[in-house]
């Protein structure tokens, strides 16, 4: 009960601060929009599909996973700024739930991600993407879980490092191979065998496959429940680890 | 209100390949009474902030015990948190928030419900003369205003004890004087105030009692006046017109005079327990004997003299 209340307090404050500077929400969505406008048109001929709609069906899911990953993995920078300003220490001397300090922030990240994802989908539909509402909601649920996982991870790591200079190279080192082997920009059906086997170890590759199946209007596909299981399991483990590390860090 | 025994903390620090253990605090025994302003004086790096952060539950002591406002620091830090307030040295406000938002949130973190939190914030803003800026972002505040918000945040839940870590560092003289008044007001409202400082004049002007810390240990402790008297006593300098010998002979027998020195300009330096008591006696004695007085000066020892005596160096140097 106290945990829920405290989480709400932290979440509400973070939301309030975010809405005060809504420009950041837009900035976060600009990069994926560029991909949508400037990269997606290349795909129809490159993928050998017949219509724009088909190309978007393949591309938008990857773009959404990209957004979920990159929108959440770098949120730790904000925490380091808060540490520096003394805001975290001020919270730590109160009896507020330590876990709520983490979860409240992560939930804010989930909400901002979903807003951005909705924006992308709306724009893509304008370009001719056609997708069922339930399928989109399913995809959003998966993205929310990814976002929760990566933002919790990011907060825990940044609390350990306490320095932007250390955090940036670390996150880039992690995120680049994850991005490239997740089949985000192009489906891994084009990949040579060894690369596909590497991708099998990348949970986000499973997520991309799952979201693609949903956008293809096939929620019953194996890849959908597999994505849910892989991402769900990993999120559970990550969030437990992150909250322990976080709670130890802020005691 | 605060009782500690053998509180200690060491850190591992790495220099090249060698790991060194730095004993930041090596066994601190403290006893702070209810309703006093207790000063923790010492040079930078003496262990003041580490001690304070231990007492405020921010770092766990390696050993020792402490009871703060009736709660056990090691066994029940959660209860300690409810009973204390803490104001960090480096500030605690978020640039994009307003003072009112910060105060309400902080109160709610202590479990206070919304309406009450808002009332408290309004009251605190008034008390700290911040009402005018209450709804502006804190990044527009001056250093002094920010520091007042920090303190208001530290006491929004009505703690019994408040810890202030160098509350006036970096403030201009006027804001500093203002801050001293605020600290006295907290004490007058019944709070026990525990304050660290490396300013001698601040400890002198503000604190009911002080402890001097150096190299992780408390070297001395007491009221400011007692400490000064203990180390040096007061010095009365008496200038007599060519009658130094006669005056020395007269004064030597007096029981309030501890020691007499004759300086090069033939004035006398009298070491006495309490200058204000000794001066009338000295005046009367010399007057009776017909010794003509040229001038008279009272020098009271400063906290720096205390520090010098206890640690062998001046606080200003360290």
3-state SS class at B225: helix
Mean pLDDT of A205-230: 92
Gyration radius of chain B's alpha carbons: 24
ipTM above 0.90, yes or no: no
Tally C-beta pairs within 8 A across A and B. Answer: 61
Measuring CA to CA, how many Å separate B69 from each of A116, A125, B27, B73, B80? 49, 63, 20, 10, 7
**A23 touches B: beta carbon within 8 Å:** no
Residues of chain B with Cβ-Cβ distance to A86 below 8 Å are 88, 90-93
Q: Nearest CA to A7 among A77, A94, A102?
A: A102
Measuring CA to CA, how many Å separate B60 from each of A161, B7, B47, B65, B260? 20, 10, 14, 11, 52
* Residue with more model confidence, B316 or B97: B97
pTM of the model: 0.85
Q: Tell me whether residues A87 and B94 touch, CB distance under 8 A.
A: yes
Q: Which of B79, B104, B105 to mutate to test the interface with A (most CBs of A within 10 A)?
A: B105
Q: Tell me whether residues B109 and A17 touch, CB distance under 8 A.
A: no
Confidence category of residue B297, pLDDT binned at 50, 70, 90: confident
Most distant CA pair in chain B, distance: 78
Of B82, B86, B97, the CB nearest to A95: B82
Q: Nearest CA to B270 among B288, B252, B284, B283?
A: B252
Q: What is the pLDDT of residues B78-114, one digit of tens each?
A: 999 999 999 998 889 999 999 999 999 999 999 999 9
Among A14-18, B199-203, B291-295, the range with the most confident prediction by mean pLDDT is: A14-18
Distance between alpha carbon A212 and the CA centroid of its chain, in Å?
A: 16
Does A82 have pLDDT greater than 90?
Answer: yes
| pLDDT on residue B232 | 64
**A91 touches B: beta carbon within 8 Å:** yes
Q: Nearest CA to B127 among B151, B160, B92?
A: B151
């Amino acid at each position: 009960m106290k945990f829920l209340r405290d989480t709400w307090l932290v979440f509400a404050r973070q939301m309030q601060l975010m809405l005060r500077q809504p420009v950041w929400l837009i900035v976060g969505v600009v990069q994926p929009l560029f991909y949508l406008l400037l990269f997606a048109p290349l795909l129809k001929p490159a993928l050998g599909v017949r219509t724009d709609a088909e190309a978007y069906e393949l591309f938008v899911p990857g773009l959404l996973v990209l957004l979920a990953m990159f929108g959440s993995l770098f949120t730790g920078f904000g925490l380091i700024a808060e540490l520096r300003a003394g805001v975290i220490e001020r919270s730590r001397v109160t009896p507020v739930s330590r876990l709520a300090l983490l979860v409240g922030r992560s939930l804010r990240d989930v909400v901002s991600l979903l807003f951005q994802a909705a924006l992308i989908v709306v724009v893509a539909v304008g370009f001719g993407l056609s997708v069922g509402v339930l399928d989109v909601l399913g995809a959003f649920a998966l993205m929310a879980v990814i976002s929760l996982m990566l933002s919790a991870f990011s907060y825990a790591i940044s609390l350990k490092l306490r320095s932007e200079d250390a955090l940036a190279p670390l996150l880039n080192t992690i995120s680049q191979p994850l991005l490239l082997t997740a089949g985000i920009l192009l489906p891994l059906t084009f990949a040579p065998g060894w690369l596909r086997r590497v991708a099998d170890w990348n949970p986000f590759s499973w997520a991309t496959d799952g979201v693609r199946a949903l956008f293809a209007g096939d929620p019953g596909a194996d890849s959908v429940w597999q994505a849910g299981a892989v991402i769900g399991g990993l999120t559970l483990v990550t969030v437990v680890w992150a909250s322990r590390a976080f709670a130890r860090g802020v005691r | 209100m605060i009782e500690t025994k053998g509180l200690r903390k060491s850190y591992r620090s790495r220099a090249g390949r060698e790991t060194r253990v730095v004993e930041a605090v090596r066994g601190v025994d403290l006893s702070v009474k209810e309703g006093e302003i207790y000063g923790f004086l010492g040079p930078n790096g003496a262990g003041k902030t580490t001690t304070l952060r231990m007492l405020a539950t921010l770092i766990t002591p390696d050993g020792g015990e402490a009871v703060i406002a009736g709660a056990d620091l090691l066994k029940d830090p959660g209860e300690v948190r409810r009973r204390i307030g803490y104001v960090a040295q480096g500030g605690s406000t978020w640039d994009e928030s307003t003072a009112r938002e910060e105060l309400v949130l902080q109160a709610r973190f202590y479990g206070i419900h919304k309406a009450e939190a808002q009332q408290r914030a309004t009251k605190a803003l008034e008390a700290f003369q911040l009402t005018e800026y209450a709804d502006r972002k804190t990044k527009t505040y001056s250093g002094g205003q920010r520091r007042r918000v920090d303190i208001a945040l530290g006491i929004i839940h009505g703690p019994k004890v408040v810890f202030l870590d160098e509350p006036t560092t970096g403030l201009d003289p006027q804001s500093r004087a203002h801050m001293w008044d605020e600290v006295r007001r907290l004490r007058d409202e019944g709070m026990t105030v525990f304050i660290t400082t490396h300013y001698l004049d601040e400890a002198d002007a503000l604190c009911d009692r002080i402890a001097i810390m150096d190299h992780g240990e408390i070297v001395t402790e007491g009221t400011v006046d007692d400490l000064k008297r203990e180390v040096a006593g007061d010095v009365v300098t008496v200038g007599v017109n060519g009658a130094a010998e006669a005056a020395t002979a007269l004064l030597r027998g007096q029981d309030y005079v501890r020691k007499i020195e004759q300086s090069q300009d033939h004035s006398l330096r009298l070491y006495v327990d309490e200058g204000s008591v000794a001066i009338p006696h000295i005046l009367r004695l010399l007057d009776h004997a017909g010794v003509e007085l040229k001038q008279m000066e009272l020098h009271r020892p400063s906290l720096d003299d205390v520090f010098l005596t206890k640690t062998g160096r001046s606080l200003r140097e360290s």
